[in-house]
Amino acid sequence: MTNAREAMLADLQAELDEIEASGLTKRERTITTPQSAHITASANGEAREVLNFCANNYLGLADDERIIDSARNALTERGFGMASVRFICGTQDQHLELERKLADWLGTDDAILFSSCFDANGAVFAPMFGAQDAIISDALNHASLIDGIRLSKAARYRYANRDMADLREQLEATKAMNGGAGARRIVIVTDGVFSMDGYLAPLREICDLADEYGALVMVDDSHAVGFMGETGAGTPEHAGVADRVDIYTGTFGKALGGASGGYVAARQQIVDILRQQGRPYLFSNSLAPSIVAATITALDLVSGAADLREKLFENAAHFRRRMDEEGFELLEGEHAIIAVMFHDAALAAKIADEMLNHGVYVTAFSFPVVPRGEARIRVQLSAAHSPEDIEACVDAFVAARKAVEA
């Protein structure tokens, strides 16, 4: 056993060494303040005040005092945790209140809470889709969707990112299933927003194809819920297809306060079967009372947050305009995720490191997170950023480019 353990550890160390040699090691910088547009972060043992342009804090609610007060009150009145799964003794009235508020806001029959959206996506597929069924997934879907699909015995099909001609081909291919009788059930699965690019899924076209082929539509809207669409209900609302999406999944860990927790919102029978057979729901602790109470407050705030949504998109437009003026290559889009392209992984990493020296915290992404040759710095705007913050970020990009090229 000792030799086997040592061999395994040696193999793991060799893999870690290879990751390091490839420049792909992920290092964590330590933050000593609440998440916000302005934070104190440490790198190489030195703490400094920096502007944060890489958080999912789209509406700036992560340090909102009203949300914090709700969490604090719930700790006192409802306790620290439930110490149970939902179906034993882990359901408080506020869990049901949050589920009802979510469903009403998103326009679905019901909703069900999970510890994370990763768990929500992991719960959906196995109970609903078996060997007679087909799951058709966008090639750039989030890892949680990919992993969730793998838990199902359904036939798996994949279409190129946002490519509707390829999606049609995959839908046609399902007709050969079950001895030519076709798939019993088909579901088209997509992110609402592809987080590395900021691209929106073409939901209207996807829903049209779903109607044509009798398929369901599932959208993971984690990077849109709270700020896309007229009321912030996400990309289906933004695309005008809210009533044509069968399954919504999403997170409370981004625009809705930034803590944790996820959900599935769907037709009643779908939610009901997940309560009976969704393994992450059945075998994970209930969402903590403080998170539930704070998220209820976040939903109340978001429902009246048109000014925050407007500010967010004004900030995104401001950043795009200034970066264009300075000659940087940006991926096209309308989202608050803006990819600044450098293509070379080492160059992107050096730019990000140099920007920290100029007081701006951003993160570089390269293979395997994005394709080889498409390394970038992903900038994420927030409603909490001021025009001065955005100008400082652009100035840091310019200064970092000059320093690295010198």
Q: Do β-strands 30-31 and 38-43 pair in parallel, antiparallel, or remain unpaired?
A: antiparallel
**Catalytic hit among 142, 238, 254, 311:** 254
Q: Give residue for tokens 């705030």.
A: 301
Q: Is 254 a catalytic residue?
A: yes
Cα atoms found within 13 Å of the Cα of residue 354, Cβ hemisphere only: 19
Active-site choice (223, 238, 311, 350): 223
Cα 326-331-332 angle, rounded to 5 deg: 100
- Is 153 one of the catalytic residues? no
Residues forming a β-bridge with 338: 379
Catalytic site residue from 116, 152, 195, 222: 195
223 an active-site residue?
Answer: yes
Place of tokens 């049209």: 208
Active site residues: 195, 223, 254
